[in-house]
A and B are shown apart, each in its own frame.
Chain A
Amino acid sequence: MVNLTVDDKQIAVERDATIYDAAKAAGIRIPILCHDKKLHPFGGCRMCLVEVEQMKGRLIPACTTPVSEGMIVRTMTDEIIKARKLVLELLLLKHPLDCPVCDAAGDCDLQNLTYEYKVDANNFTDEKFHWEIDYDNPLIERDQNRCIHCGKCARICDEIVSYGAYSFVNRGIEAKIGTPFDGKLDCEYCGSCISVCPVGALIAKPFKFKARWWALNKVKSVCSYCGTGCQLTLGVKDDKVLTTIYDEDQGFHNGQLCGRGRFGYQFVNSDERLTTPLVRKNGTLQPVGWDEALELISTKLQEARKNDPSAVAALATPRLTNEELFLFRKLFKDVVGTDSIDHSAGYAHEALTAGLKESFGITASPSQIVDIQKSDLLLVIKTDAYETHPVIGFEINLGVKRKGVDLRIISDKTGKLAKLPKAVNYLHKPGCELLLVNALAKVIVDENLAAESAAAITGLDAYKGMLAGVDLNQVAAVTGVSLESIRELATAYAKAEKALILLPIGLGYPGHGKELAQALSNLALLAGKIGQEGSGLLVLGEKNNSQGAADLAIHPTAGGRDAAAIIDGCASGAVKILYIAGENPVVAYPDRAKVEKALDNAGFVVVLDLFLTDSAKRADVVLPVKSFAEKCGTFTSVGRHVQRIRKAIKAVGESRSDREVLADIIARLTGEGVAADSATLFKQIGCYSGVNYDALGDAGAIYPVNVSPKFVPVVGSVPATEEGKYALLTGSALYHCGTMSLSGVGPMLVCPEQYIELGRVDAGKLGVNDGDRLKVRSASGELSLAVKVGLRMPEGVVFSPYHFADASINSITSGKSVTWVSLSK
């Protein structure tokens, strides 16, 4: 610790702190324009100039100067004020001063400081800038005339997002923030640059001119897209969510968001939202009152409850709150008496609910998100982890670039993560993950690198016996990863003091099921990486409450039907009543034709959704439900983090929350009312008994788990290949998450339709370019898709996302990790 005096206050701070950090710790505010706590110090704006007794004669920038013992700092003297005024005058000299039409006004650092330092005249005169304004970008509007050259946009894009869309171009007074070759901005659209821009040079186009910053009601909540659990602040006015607001003090991610979190909020106030309950009468869905719809559902359920509870099945989306999932389980398991409940098509939660349940005795990851930056080596399964969990991707970027984390990726394609400095991507043939993971374990055993702690874990002998049968040469030949690479990776993983495995799961990862999770658990146990900080296994659930749905056991636990069996049961007539809370199986579940037939065939289908989805169109009763912005509750995100969401707006139309609907149905069935407020319900959730709801606050809480490890040998099999065909992989596009982002305007502006991505070599062979169309034919169907040519896909492998309702990829896939397709123009 270093002792120093700032404005007569004695402070002790860490050795690596700057004067700015020290002053902040003491509650003394030093004005800044170019500094951000997430970024490396830059020292460009000279607003933070302070006086240091030991360095008299000149003013010192506080944000770049490290503290030293006995330093005496003054942050506000007449000379400093004069200097700061001069800085502001020089900045205002070129600034257009178009505050009345600038969206940043009210939240503009330059405006606030100008006001604070009473800069009402300028000693200088000069012409203003006349840069052309970029109006063409769908999400980010760039007005270089307002820019004050703080460089924060370029730095955040480089340091945290690792994209590098911006840089300073030109020199001196001609300098500006430019894109490569001054071309159009085509980036990841995470909007981080907008969030840190201290002025209005970068503004969010969807929010342009919508409201003033000061007129917005700021409501803290949690993002409802992926499982990362980023906290966000909603900007609300007149019961409409108009924007998301940057708050650098929110969450582990310091307010950092991805594109869909920042720009995908429009689904909340979409005109397409359902507003009244609908009941099918004479073949069409007609608006009815809530009472009629609920009475109809209750009567059907009551009948089934008495006669044949097993004919009832229910699917829930892991986007519901924990409290809603709790009531969902209560209604179907306890009240109706059916075990046929499931979520995420069954396969997308297996890694947690079956894999880790067996290997670790828990349905959650032993590690947390903060372990990423504390680790020495990260083993990421598939580069797609960045696409599905972009903000965890930022954590990986920071780990690699700032903490020197050794990043290793096992993936069937290259991608953003593989491009990070020193990252090694072990590119393998599709569908070979399990073989590769077992081969790594085999090397660890063969080279005696197994940890001593592994000996005490049950099942080691059986596991070693299984590994003895692994032929490394064969694995190398099948996977396409050389024997040396396998050896090198296994050695590096075993020898790393702290090593963390990241396994993303979800509808976009059909191969990441029970077996892979167990193989990875075995590997981590064998190398002794479970149970210490910065080490372990982190399973990344796909949706905002995937972890909660796994914890609350929204899956069959007593021999009931899982999602696939429910769909089959509907088709065969065994399932007569299907209750779908928020899922869109027609688009998201494997084999569209089969799901459509099943929904048509089921006797009585109830769908609760925000929108009239393709699944809702086939229902007998459709109920409008509230979005995350209209209700309270909790989500559990990756790493067992329980966080609260808060009601920001009034219900849209007549919509009710799933919680209210489920409580109502339970009351109608049992004749007894149930508590429907989230606080009471949360306290009833057994698996969260270690979490105090009232103390959750803004930060949330991580619930504790006890790992009881076990080796569960899983044998990999050589995936089938088909000669002359392309391996089609399905997954997530960076801008989308599930099917909900289709109603968020932002994501659709940058990624509007189903596409097929292929590498340059394949594109050359087929003679297609970006935007052309290709016929994609599999055993189960054919689609015509737009072509996207990139550097991500290796030869013979193509990719298509699963989100889109039109030409949905599940029309030609059936839930296998690889689908073999032929491509033709």
Chain B
Amino acid sequence: MIVPLIKGLQITLKHLFKKPITLMYPEEKPDVAPNFRGLHALKVSHNKAKCVACYLCPTVCPAKCITVEAGEDANHDKYAAKYEIDMLRCIFCGYCVEACPVDALGMTQTFELANYKRSDFVFTKERLLEKK
């Protein structure tokens, strides 16, 4: 009977001197994996968003959190005049990234998305544009 007790305490003692698994968040930040599905980012190329407003991401989105409105620019090209993601609805499944035919959308390692107002969770195109 005493043996299992000692065995158990052994484990406890071992962990007492090990490096802790928990982080002292927010002072300490975790290492986020490169393929982590955090906040979305609209990729930029030639100083403009790569997105061509094909509407595949809102089509595939299971949470229906993406709103796209296409516009026509001076060269008659299609671009996203409006691109919004409602983070309160987003389930971070990454289907939008998968569906994108022009690799215009990615997901970053940003996971700290808490905010004070509901309206702040709606990420407009400006907020989503990739920060370089």
Interface residue ranges, A against B (CB under 8 Å):
99-101, 105, 133, 135, 208-212, 214-215
A212 to B69, CA, bound (A): 11
Chain A contact surface mostly: loop
Residue of B56, B78, B102 with most chain A CB atoms under a 10 A cut-off: B78
Residues of B within 8 A of A99 (CB): 54, 101
A212 to B70, CA, bound (A): 10
A101 touches B54 (CB 8 A): yes
Residue of B nearest to A141 (CB): B76
A100 touches B76 (CB 8 A): no
Residues of A within 8 A of B102 (CB): 100
7 A–B pairs (Cβ distance < 8 Å), ordered by A = A99-B54, A100-B78, A100-B101, A100-B102, A101-B53, A105-B54, A215-B58
Nearest chain B CB to A217 CB, angstrom units:
14
B59 touches A208 (CB 8 A): no
B72 touches A212 (CB 8 A): no
Nearest chain A CB to B7 CB, angstrom units:
59
Residues of B within 8 A of A215 (CB): 55, 58-59
User: A99-B101, A100-B102, A101-B54 known; A209 and B78 CB under 8 Å?
Assistant: yes
B31 within 8 A of A: no
Taking A209-B78, A214-B59 as known contacts, 11 extra A-B pairs with beta carbons closer than 8 A to each other, sorted by chain A number, are A99-B101, A100-B52, A100-B54, A101-B52, A101-B54, A101-B78, A105-B54, A133-B76, A210-B70, A212-B59, A215-B58
A135 touches B59 (CB 8 A): no
Q: How many residue-residue contacts, CB under 8 A, span A and B?
A: 31
Nearest chain A CB to B127 CB, angstrom units:
23
Chain B 56-86 interface residues, beta-carbon cutoff 8 Å to A: 56, 58-59, 70-72, 76-78
Residues of A within 8 A of B101 (CB): 99-100
A208 to B77, CA, bound (A): 11
A215 to B57, CA, bound (A): 12
Residues of B within 8 A of A133 (CB): 76
Nearest chain B CB to A144 CB, angstrom units:
14
Residues of B within 8 A of A210 (CB): 70
Residues of A within 8 A of B71 (CB): 209
A157 to B59, CA, bound (A): 35
User: A99-B101, A209-B71, A210-B70 known; A135 and B52 CB under 8 Å?
Assistant: no
A210 to B69, CA, bound (A): 8
Residues of A within 8 A of B72 (CB): 208-209
A212 to B53, CA, bound (A): 10
Residues of A within 8 A of B58 (CB): 215
Interface residue ranges, B against A (CB under 8 Å):
52-56, 58-59, 70-72, 76-78, 101-102
A212 touches B55 (CB 8 A): yes
Nearest chain A CB to B97 CB, angstrom units:
15
Nearest chain B CB to A619 CB, angstrom units:
37
Residues of B within 8 A of A101 (CB): 52-54, 77-78
Nearest chain B CB to A502 CB, angstrom units:
43
B56 touches A135 (CB 8 A): no
A48 to B76, CA, bound (A): 35
Given A100, A208, A211, which contacts B56 in the complex, CB threshold below 8 Å? A100
Residues of B within 8 A of A105 (CB): 54
A135 to B102, CA, bound (A): 24
Residue of A nearest to B70 (CB): A209
A209 to B78, CA, bound (A): 7
Nearest chain B CB to A102 CB, angstrom units:
9
Residues of A within 8 A of B59 (CB): 212, 214-215
Nearest chain B CB to A477 CB, angstrom units:
59
Residues of A within 8 A of B77 (CB): 101
Residue of B nearest to A143 (CB): B76
Nearest chain A CB to B53 CB, angstrom units:
7
Nearest chain A CB to B126 CB, angstrom units:
21
Nearest chain A CB to B71 CB, angstrom units:
7
A212 to B52, CA, bound (A): 13
Residue of B nearest to A105 (CB): B54
Nearest chain A CB to B29 CB, angstrom units:
37
A794 to B77, CA, bound (A): 46
A212 to B55, CA, bound (A): 7
A154 to B71, CA, bound (A): 30
Residues of A within 8 A of B53 (CB): 101, 209
Residue of B nearest to A98 (CB): B52
Nearest chain B CB to A191 CB, angstrom units:
19
Residue of B nearest to A209 (CB): B70
Residue of B59, B70, B102 with most chain A CB atoms under a 10 A cut-off: B70
Residues of B within 8 A of A209 (CB): 53, 70-72, 78
Residues of A within 8 A of B52 (CB): 100-101
Residues of A within 8 A of B70 (CB): 209-210
A276 to B102, CA, bound (A): 45
Residue of B52, B55, B58, B77 with most chain A CB atoms under a 10 A cut-off: B55
Residues of A within 8 A of B54 (CB): 99-101, 105, 212
Nearest chain B CB to A745 CB, angstrom units:
15
Nearest chain A CB to B132 CB, angstrom units:
24
Residue of A nearest to B55 (CB): A212
Residues of B within 8 A of A208 (CB): 72
Closest 10 CB pairs of A and B: A100-B54, A209-B70, A101-B78, A212-B55, A100-B101, A100-B52, A101-B52, A135-B76, A209-B78, A209-B72
Residues of B within 8 A of A212 (CB): 54-55, 59
